[in-house]
């Protein structure tokens, strides 16, 4: 059995999911003594020892970083094991699901900096249109140049956003392998 979720780690150590740090340590010490390669030379015991050590390290990290078991575990939306956060609807999910980093529907609105980035692109295009209208009335080349600069800057911001999303998706695909 491999430890992919904290429930698997608890099962590997023979504990219930509501066990505390003291119980986890005691179960680890007991199983490590039984399956240690210096004590038992069978391949099965050696594999079991590796699983027990891996489960203990994962649980120790989780129990040290979070005082209660309600703050971490398998995400109910994507199944990834990690820190869970409360959503606006009262449920809980991992940060990626809450912020819309996965392909699932968002629980929370976009972060403020993302909204500001999108609003700035819209404002640049609006300014460009206003400057083009002003150029047609006054025929000053400065208005046309500034309008062109606004369009180019808006396109640059959109291209950077596309590259950021593509990079994030590629990183998620590499991590999933």
Flag residues of the chain having pLDDT under 70.
Answer: 1-2, 64-72, 88-90, 99-111, 176-177
d(CA 106, CA 97): 7
pLDDT of residue 141: 87
Is 154 in a helix, a strand, or coil? Answer: helix
Which of 25, 27, 26, 1 has the alpha carbon at shortest distance from 14?
Answer: 27
Q: Which pTM does this prediction carry?
A: 0.39
pLDDT of residue 80: 74
- Strand pairing report for 72-74 and 81-83: antiparallel
Average pLDDT over all residues of the chain: 79
Q: Work out the burial of residue 176: count CB atoms within 10 Å of its CB; fewer than 13 is exposed, 13-18 middle, 19 or more buried.
A: exposed
CB of 67 closer than 8 Å to CB of 84 = no
pLDDT of residue 65: 60
Which of 2, 167, 6 has the alpha carbon at shortest distance from 73?
Answer: 6
């Amino acid at each position: 059995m491999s430890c992919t979720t904290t429930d698997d780690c608890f099962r590997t150590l023979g504990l219930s999911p509501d066990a505390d740090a003291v119980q986890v340590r005691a179960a680890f010490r007991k199983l490590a003594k039984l399956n240690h390669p210096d004590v038992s030379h069978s391949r099965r015991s050696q594999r079991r020892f590796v699983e027990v050590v891996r489960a203990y390290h994962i649980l120790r990290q989780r129990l040290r970083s979070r005082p209660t078991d309600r703050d971490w575990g398998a995400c109910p939306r994507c199944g990834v094991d990690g820190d869970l956060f409360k959503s606006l609807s009262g449920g809980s999910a991992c940060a990626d699901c809450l912020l819309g980093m996965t392909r699932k529907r968002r629980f929370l609105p976009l972060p403020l900096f993302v909204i500001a980035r999108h609003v700035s692109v819209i404002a640049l295009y609006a300014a460009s249109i206003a400057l083009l209208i002003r150029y047609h009335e006054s025929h000053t080349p400065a208005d046309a140049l500034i309008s062109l600069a606004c369009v180019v800057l808006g396109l640059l911001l959109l291209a950077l956003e596309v590259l950021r999303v593509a990079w994030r998706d590629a990183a998620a695909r590499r991590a999933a392998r």
